[in-house]
Amino acid sequence: MNPVGSWRCVVLVARATLLEVSRQRLPALLLFGAVGGILGATLLEDFNFGLPPLQFLADLGQGVIALFGSVLAVTGSAQLFFGEIEQRTVFGVLAKPVGRAEFVLGKYLAVLALLAVFSVLTTAVLVVLLRCRGMTWGPDWIELPAAERLPDGLGLVLKGVARWLECGVLSACTLLLATFSSGSLGATLLGFGMMAIGHLQSLARATPVGPDPFLIRRVVGLTLQALPDLGVFNLTGTSADSTAALFVPLARAAACAVLYAGAAGALAVFSFRRREI
């Protein structure tokens, strides 16, 4: 197999997929929803009981980005994968010198590009909003205790990168689930299930367990281990001494993203090759 030719096929599939995305309403709807959610976070300031207002807005804004980004990653991956299968155009694509692996990787590349655009735009809106409320570009809180530190522009950008990595992992996992599913609805629901478990893993570990938890803990622990822990990508609560210290958890998150996405992507290719369309 010619790697240059393969890569060209992947890019071609990705480009065609992005063209298809530009005709869909859902990504634009999710983008507007996220922007609305970020701006609407200011209405929830009365629910803040313990954090500085700027930190509260930053947290909530990042939550909105993560939520809408995750929804885009799951629905986008499932719809774009099944779109061609349901419309039968996949036969035409695969009849050309495009392998199944190239088809899956092309779809994944397109979703990654879409998520990158989404992350850049929403993070920019959040940064502008917080800048209007008095946020600085660099950290000016190094002397403050962790509880009183405020967000800064560079920190938000690094956290935005972490969110993009998270959505990339979620997208790869949804593509894997799609190769096992018979339709886009099933893949989407499974993707959302994975998203919920991934986000709640840490809270599940923090919840007190019953009097004889050994067996339950083992079974639950093994199940959780097979699913990605999306908490790795959340740098929001990292008690870093400076924004520069965010690079370490971000590098770890990037390593985890490559590992999770690599494993899920390889399995998706393997599964799709054995699947009847």
Partner 1 sequence: MRSKGFTWILTLAVLLAAGFIARLVAGDETAEEWAGGRCKGEGGFRTLLADFLWMHAHVSWERRQPEATVRALRLTVAADPRPLAFWLNGARMIAYDMPRWRLGGLDAPGQRLPDLHKRLEQQQGRRALEWLDDAARVHPDAPAVFIERANILLNCEHDLEGAAANYRRAALLPRAPFYAARLHAELLRRLGRREEALAWLAHLHPRLPRGDAAAAAGLVEARIRELETELGVPPERRYRVPEDRRRPGEGIGL
Contacting residues toward partner 1, per CB under 8 A: 44, 47-51, 55-56, 58-67, 143, 145-147, 176, 180, 198-203, 205-208, 222, 224-232, 234, 236-239, 252-253, 255-256, 259-260, 262-264, 266-267, 270-271, 274
* Residue 41 Cβ vs partner 1, minimum distance, rounded to whole Å: 9
Nearer to partner 1, 97 or 193 (CB): 193
Nearer to partner 1, 97 or 262 (CB): 262
Q: Specify which residues 152 forms β-bridges with.
A: 136
Residue 223, both tokens: 């199940």
* Residue 14 Cβ vs partner 1, minimum distance, rounded to whole Å: 24
* Residue 255 Cβ vs partner 1, minimum distance, rounded to whole Å: 5
Nearer to partner 1, 19 or 144 (CB): 144
* Residue 2 Cβ vs partner 1, minimum distance, rounded to whole Å: 27
Q: 63-74 burial, b if ≥16 CB within 10 A, otherwise e?
A: bbbbbbbbbbbb
Residue pair 271/179 in contact (Cβ under 8 Å)? The answer is yes
| Residue 88 φ/ψ region, left for φ over 0, alpha for ψ in the -120 to 50 degree band, beta for the rest | left
Burial (CB < 10 A; 0-12, 13-18, 19+), residue 50, is exposed
* Residue 97 Cβ vs partner 1, minimum distance, rounded to whole Å: 25
* Cβ atoms within 10 Å, residue 146: 11
- Sign, CA dihedral 29-31-32-37, equals positive
* Residue 205 Cβ vs partner 1, minimum distance, rounded to whole Å: 5
Nearer to partner 1, 137 or 180 (CB): 180
User: What three-state secondary structure class fits 87?
Assistant: coil
* Residue 85 Cβ vs partner 1, minimum distance, rounded to whole Å: 18
Nearer to partner 1, 88 or 276 (CB): 276
Nearer to partner 1, 118 or 260 (CB): 260
* Cβ atoms within 10 Å, residue 79: 21
Helix axis angle, 214-226 to 184-206, nearest 10°: 130
Nearer to partner 1, 11 or 263 (CB): 263
